[in-house]
Chains A and B, each alone.
Chain A
């Protein structure tokens, strides 16, 4: 892109004083030395003047007093907090909701176990009562676990014959007391 193309591309923004100082100065210098770009600038000025003239003539016929009164009234009007909040929420672009919504959904899924431990069988998956440690103070003890009914039994008994009893047989053994 040469200087002329770049200038003419930005001439509208320059005219509206929207460019930074360096770019604005570059265009000013270029326009002074370039016939084509100066012509473009002049065209822009003519359009601006024409529009300004038309709008000024139209505006002179418009009654602004009631309009400004309405604006003033609306500025002074205290809006309820929920309306302001609603406007703010609805005013947010839809795409902006997607990210927090996805994050919240993921967090909710990850937190399900904490809040609802049984939702995917947390308790029912391993519904057994577990025995972490047993000290029978020298007596014999058996641990029975039955899958179908999820039953856990600690059974104390006398191991009178000194045999190793299996858990399944434990209830039939003689009690230790």
Chain B
């Protein structure tokens, strides 16, 4: 009986440690976030679909354009609460600042500027290593730029 009581006490202690450790794991922030920005030129000039965009074809087709071409694909490791800028064609720049990591989702503060003039400030939450968020609108070479944004916490 004494042994049983001792084991019960150990089990409770173990549970407590588990709960505390679990919370710590859940609350732990990643060291950095790998942010990938794809710059896609969409237009209605032809029916070209860049094979490099195959993995996101379904999502892009939602935009109802005829032509989709990947101009640039850039990945940068952004330190937690630090920021990194991505050059976007047309003298634009996209600055990304990781904000929060919770429930396997990454919050990012995103700023789009054109020649140092802010065009858009937004805070988005993307699934970690999951679906992209698309930011579209800037004109470029007779078409429109669409930026795909994804994040992978590390």
A22 contacts the other chain (CB 8 A):
no
> Which residues of B lie under 8 Å from residue A122 when comparing CB positions?
103-104
**Would you give the 0/1 interface string for A125-168, flagging 1 where the beta carbon is closer than 8 Å to chain B?**
00111111111110101001010011111111100000000000
- CB of B10 closer than 8 Å to a CB of A: yes
A137/B119 in contact, CB under 8 A: yes
A103 at the interface (CB under 8 A from B): yes
Given the interface contacts A99-B8, A153-B63, does A137 sit within 8 Å of B121 by beta carbon? yes
Q: Are A130 and B137 in contact (CB under 8 A)?
A: no
Q: Which residues of A contact B107 (CB under 8 A)?
A: 132
Contact indicator A156/B114 (Cβ below 8 Å): no
User: Which stretch, A27-35, A60-68, A77-85, A107-115, touches the partner chain B?
Assistant: A107-115
- A53 contacts the other chain (Cβ, under 8 Å)? no
For B132, list chain A residues within 8 Å (CB): 129
- Could you give, for residues 1-30 of chain B, a 1 whenever the CB lies within 8 Å of some chain A CB and a 0 otherwise? 001100110111011001100100110000
Bound-state CA distance A92–B62 (Å) is: 62
Q: Does A104 contact B (CB under 8 A)?
A: yes
Check B138–A100 contact: CB distance below 8 A: no
Contacts of B22 in A (CB 8 A): 107, 110-111, 114
Q: Shortest distance in angstroms between A150's beta carbon and chain B's nearest beta carbon?
A: 5
Per-position 1/0 for B105-146, Cβ under 8 A of A: 101000000100011111111111011111111110000101
Query: Once the chains bind, are B137 and A157 in contact (CB under 8 Å)?
Result: yes
- Chain B residues packing against A (C-beta within 8 Å): 3-4, 7-8, 10-12, 14-15, 18-19, 22, 25-26, 58-59, 61-65, 90, 103-105, 107, 114, 118-128, 130-139, 144, 146, 149
Supply 20 A–B pairs (Cβ within 8 Å), ascending by A: A100-B10, A103-B14, A107-B19, A110-B22, A111-B22, A114-B22, A122-B103, A123-B127, A127-B127, A128-B127, A129-B126, A129-B131, A129-B132, A131-B123, A132-B122, A136-B120, A152-B124, A153-B134, A153-B146, A175-B138
